Amino acid sequence: MPELRAPIGTRDVVAPESARWARLVARFAVTAEAAGYGLVLTPLFEDLAVFQRVGEATDIVRKEMYDFEDKGGRHLALRPEVTASVVRSYIQLRPTLPWKSWYVGPNFRYESPQAGRYRQFYQLGLEAIGSADADLDVEVIGLAWSLYDAMGLRQVGLSINSLGDDVCRPGYRELLLRFLEARRAELCDEHRIRLEDNPLRALDCKKPECMAATVDAPRQLDHLCEPCGAHFARVREGLMALGVPHTVDTRLVRGLDYYTRTTFEFPSGALDSAQNALGGGGRYDGLVEAMGGPPTPGIGFALGIERILLACDAEGVAEAGGGGVDVFVVDLTGGGAARDVTFELRAAGWRADRAFDARSAKAQFKAADRSGARLAVVIGPDEAAAGTVSVKDLRGGAPGGQVTVARAHLGDEVRRRLG
Ligand code: AMP
């Protein structure tokens, strides 16, 4: 039989790496919940139309979507991102506004896999639906910022831009289109052909042809209407008040069509430029209506879990450490004592593990080393007969060497050693 492997662009995340994921998600959950965001779980697949409505002109929707017909003939797609699902859910459930939610989970895009770019990748994110207040933009951006900061990442930047709204964007779009039409021959193949679909995308293109052709392109920031200009100024003022450093990047248009006003991205100075975005987001004040709901503003972001952990590795911050247990129970009497002692230790709040299958002493101590435990609890025939256990330091640093204590005093001894 041919060897079965995970599909190209996907991978298994196993311990100890998975412990870093769990810690990152837990940290994000605490951060989001503390700011009034509740967990939202939406389906991993939706009607194709949910995603088509949000980004018909984008690569993500046009070229990278995993879409399929189910056995009932429905045309569905694995989600390439979460915002569209959350907005669909809002329209369907109509929770009270503002509706502030956070999420974690996988997304699927048929991209060329490489380091930091997968076909199934995981995002943390949040969405705040129901307010157009610029201070909400500051809250949302500030929450992502505080997560990076709490993780000890120091080489994360923040780029922001404003894309205007349906008052000032159409005029700007025309201006940009006229500018680019005059330079159509200089653009890359894709943007030459698809210029009319969304001329803004040429600004975001990383190909040298497009970058050169758009150097002097008109900038949306110079053509904002008065309310959009005031909104952007208020966002910047808020970020400065919170001490969040940022740079204005007038080329930042981002991948999906639905953004209005504030857009932002968090590049990491520690990663290769092709995969350096640790996250991004923006306002989508027209999206709810475009998807068939009542006019309702919203803003959100998505952060890539794989990218954040890569940045942790690249910056060498502590979050890169593994998980592991506190105590490993080595039982040389057949396993029944290990069964009972690990259960007692866990009930007392310790992370405890053991070996199974009555392995040799050597194999059990090897497993204890691999487990990352600082202490081993050893139960041999002598201890079992005397109603005692031996506690042994595995790492150095826990004071006290090896001692034998009454089984009833094991909890005290572990507490004394591990604090
Ligand atoms: P986007 O919706 O494309 O702005 O993605 C938001 C964040 O998700 C990005 O900033 C990345 O951190 C991450 N991301 C997007 N696509 C991928 C991918 N194919 N593989 C890994 N991470 C990704």
- Range name among 5-9, 99-103, 175-179, 272-276 with the lowest pLDDT average: 272-276
Q: Which domains does the chain have, with CATH numbers?
A: 17-168+224-315 (3.30.930.10), 327-418 (3.40.50.800)
Mutate which of 24, 82, 121 for ligand 1? The one with the most ligand atoms within 8 Å of its CB, which is 121
pLDDT digits (tens, 9 = 90+) for 309-327: 999 999 998 664 456 799 9
pLDDT at position 256 is 67
- For residue 343, how many other CB atoms are within 10 A of its CB? 13
* Least confidently predicted of 56-60, 167-171, 344-348, 372-376: 56-60
| DSSP state at residue 7 | P
Give residue-wise pLDDT tens across range 191-250. Answer: 888 888 888 888 888 889 999 999 999 999 999 999 999 999 999 999 999 999 999 999
Query: Do the bridges between strand 45-47 and strand 75-78 make them parallel or antiparallel, or are there none, so unpaired?
Result: antiparallel
Residue 34 CB neighbours (<10 A): 10
Torsion angle of the four alpha carbons 50, 55, 56, 58, in this order, in degrees rounded to the nearest 10:
-140
Of the candidates 172, 163, 213, the one whose C-alpha atom is nearest the C-alpha of residue 189 is 213
Question: Which pLDDT band, with edges at 50, 70 and 90, does 168 fall under?
Answer: very high
pLDDT of residue 319: 61
| pLDDT beyond 60 at 399 | no
Q: Please identify which residue in the block is written with the tokens 């979507």.
A: 65
| Ligand 1 centroid distance, CA of 39 (Å) | 20
Nearest to 281 by CA among 99, 145, 78: 145
Comparing 278 with 253, the larger pLDDT belongs to 278
Taking alpha carbons only, the member of 394, 418, 392, 419 closest to residue 405 is: 392
> 397 pLDDT exceeds 60?
no
Answer whether 58 contacts ligand 1 (Cβ < 6 A): no
pLDDT in tens, 11-65: 999 988 898 999 999 999 999 999 999 999 999 999 999 998 877 767 888 889 9
The string of pLDDT tens digits covering residues 116-153 is 999 999 999 999 999 999 999 999 999 999 999 988 99
The dihedral through the CA atoms of 57, 59, 62, 67 has a sign that is negative
Calpha distance 170→251 (Å, rounded): 17
How high is the pLDDT of residue 206? 83
Give CA–CA dist 241/221, Å, rounded.
Answer: 22
Q: What's the whole-model pTM score?
A: 0.88
Kindly report the protein residue whose alpha carbon is nearest to atom 12 of ligand 1: 304
Determine what percent of the chain is predicted with pLDDT higher than 70. Answer: 97
**Percent of the chain whose pLDDT exceeds 90:** 80
Pick the atom of ligand 1 nearest to 123's CA. Answer: 8
Calculate the average pLDDT of the chain.
93
- The answer on pLDDT for 284 being more than 90 is yes
Among 107, 108, 120, the mutation site with the greatest number of ligand 1 atoms within 8 A of its Cβ is 107
